[in-house]
Amino acid sequence: MTEPVDAGLFQQQLLSWYGRCGRDLPWRQTRDPYRIWLSEVMLQQTGVQAVIPYFERFVSQFPDVESLAAAPVDAVIELWAGLGYYSRARNLHAAAQKVCEEFQGRFPSSVHDLMTLPGVGRSTAGAIRAIAFDQHGVILDGNVRRVLCRLFAWQDDPRSSAAEKQLWQWATLLTPQRRCHDYAQAIMDFGATLCTPRQPQCASCPMTALCLGYQQGIQEQLPRKRQRKTVPLRQEVAVLIEYDGRFAVRQRPLTGMLAGLWEFPSQSYTEPQSPEQLCHHAQRLAGDHDRPLTALGVVRHVYSHFRVDVSAFYCQVDVTLTECFSTCRWLSKKELTDWPLHGSHKKIVDTLLMQCGK
């Protein structure tokens, strides 16, 4: 069966474009598998501009896989704070330890072995293999998925099992056996800077003669959007407990959602809570039902599978009550701004605590 897109011509056009328009990024100045792996994990679900300062801080503090593996996981999570999707930080640490323990500190080059590392899936493994080792590695990240849907005019659900199978086949068809390093970066750059999610720059695109979506005039409608599911809303109470200019924070368990991050004393609820109930919960968290509380306001934070409205309250305690929070750490306002609080509680500091002058 003849494929609808000429793979050889696509590769030629793409690599020529990349030679003129490829981005200069910090992780492109090396072939070190450690740094390439680090960048690829950071770039999962996060844009390039957000990643750059985190990448530079990480390689400054952990210049090689051995130093990352030897670090306490808390230090890794703290350095990751603000980048989101925190399971990536825990996987990063676990993968570094696996490389040191099972691969003698050297990253494997096969897709199979790379996929044994926590947090490394098929596409990330292909990217590492291609970019670090200049060996054939197939990529199907969000940018490549979008390019392929437009190039081959795929009009069905882009995340269906049928789409997954077909898109991997097309990605494999287009991936060359030579210049693997350049092609991997070129196809990702092409999706990120030219074949963009909104308003693709078709007037500047070298692929219009090959692109079936463009030829049919439907490129801006692809990939088709999936029907959005209703995202549940949860409520949460958080109490900012102050003693002598410092606030109590506690660390979440090292497993589960937001593992290892920090938060104010809090409790979440899946059932609707009235304002009176929320205030009662806050007083219980504060350890004193009679102590006056100040309502600071509500912040909303969106996670991948639900939204949460956090009602924040403030109270002061004296030294006799600090014993109720013996497992907490007490931090100043300045320390709070740099501490690895999870997203919704970081918003409490940024939008409520500072504004209220507490």
Which residues are part of the catalytic machinery? 40
Helix (H/G/I), strand (E/B), else coil: 308: strand
Q: Within its chain, how far is the Cα of 141 from the centroid? A: 13
36, 181 in Cβ contact below 8 A?
no
Concatenated DSSP letters of 142-172: HHHHHHHHHHTT--S-TTSHHHHHHHHHHHH
Residue 287 CA to residue 289 CA, distance in Å, equals 7
At 263, which amino acid appears? Answer: E
The alpha helices in 217-353, defined as continuous H runs, are 275-285, 319-322, 333-338, 343-347
- Three-state SS string over 116-138 comes to CCCCCCHHHHHHHHHHHHCCCCC
Residue 135 CA to residue 128 CA, distance in Å, equals 9
Residue 137 CA to residue 144 CA, distance in Å, equals 13
Concatenated DSSP letters of 72-117: -HHHHHHHHTTS--THHHHHHHHHHHHHHHHSTT----SHHHHTTS
Q: Across-strand partners of 236?
A: 268, 310
Parallel/antiparallel/unpaired status of strands 307-316 and 233-243: parallel
Concatenated DSSP letters of 43-79: TTTS-HHHHHHHHHHHHHH--SHHHHHHS-HHHHHHH
